[in-house]
Structure 1
Amino acid sequence: MSVDAGLVEWIAEAMAPIGHVTMRRMFGGAALYCDGTIFALLAMDDLWFKSDAESKPLWDAMGVDHFTYPKKGGMVGITSYRRAPSDAHDDQDAMRHYGELGLAASLRKARRG
């Protein structure tokens, strides 16, 4: 998968009031960081935000999928990343809101260790 540079620029612009967004390519996609803290992934031709137990009800209420991946033996792995709701792609405030949710989830995990 090639990383959509325009999408990365859009995310960085939306998140600018929060912090500086950088990208690191990984596994055919990319990880997005805000001031050094991972908050989103670009993978499987979509954008995925970090979630945790605290933010889970918000993501569930929006009805967005978990990022999943195939495992050996036909099993499916489920991650803590959630698909970006469609309004994130055309509403800068929505993108910032979802980005802040992802960033907050990562920061909580870092504090827990």
Structure 2
Amino acid sequence: MVASETYAEFLREQLAPLGRVTLRPMFGKTGMFCDGVMLGVVTENTLYFRVDDENREAFREAEAFPPLNYAKKGQIIDLAFWRVPERLFDEPDELIAWARAALAAAHRVAAKRPAPKQHKASKQRQRS
């Protein structure tokens, strides 16, 4: 379920110190982006932040909740997004610290992705 407009606006306000935060529907959920990089996902008005090996220890508290997941061919696939503890919404500085750690993880993930393939016509124009 995508984020409600009220919840989306609340998140944009809370995370404004990060930069330009946008939310958009994706696969029945809502992707959260900061300056074009996906740092979180919202489903059923619950926020999940991107986690990787470098911020996993800082997010240890979030392990108390199941990670964001989906079912595929009868198996549950865990995604690299962990639920943000509700208490952080009462601790704005700590919420921003977690969001910055999630954004750093999102940048690391984006840097590891191969560059998108170009069409032959685009390659030929670049050579000219």
User: Which interval holds the TM-score relative to the shorter structure?
Assistant: 0.7 to 0.9
Give the drift of 1:50: 0.5
Greater Rg by CA:
2
**Partner residue of 2:126?**
none
Runs of 4 or more off by more than 4 Å in structure 1?
A: none
Structure with more relative contact order (C-alpha pairs < 8 Å, separation 6 or more) = 1
**Partner residue of 1:56?**
56
Give the drift of 1:70: 1.4
Percent identity, aligned pairs only?
Answer: 29
1:9-52 per-residue CA deviation (whole Å, 9 max, x = no partner) reads 22211222220111111112210101111111012442111010
Give the drift of 1:86: 1.2
Distance 2:47 2:84 in 1: 6
Give the drift of 1:2: 4.2
**Partner residue of 1:70?**
71
* CA RMSD across the alignment: 1.8
**Partner residue of 2:108?**
108
Query: For structure 2, which runs of at least 5 residues remain unmatched after alignment?
Result: 114-128
Query: For structure 1, which runs of at least 5 residues remain unmatched after alignment?
Result: none
| Residue 5 (structure 2) pairs with residue 14 (structure 1) | no
**TM-score (normalizing by structure 2):** 0.76
Q: 8 Å contact 2:61–2:85 — kept in the other structure? A: no
Q: 8 Å contact 1:87–1:94 — kept in the other structure? A: no
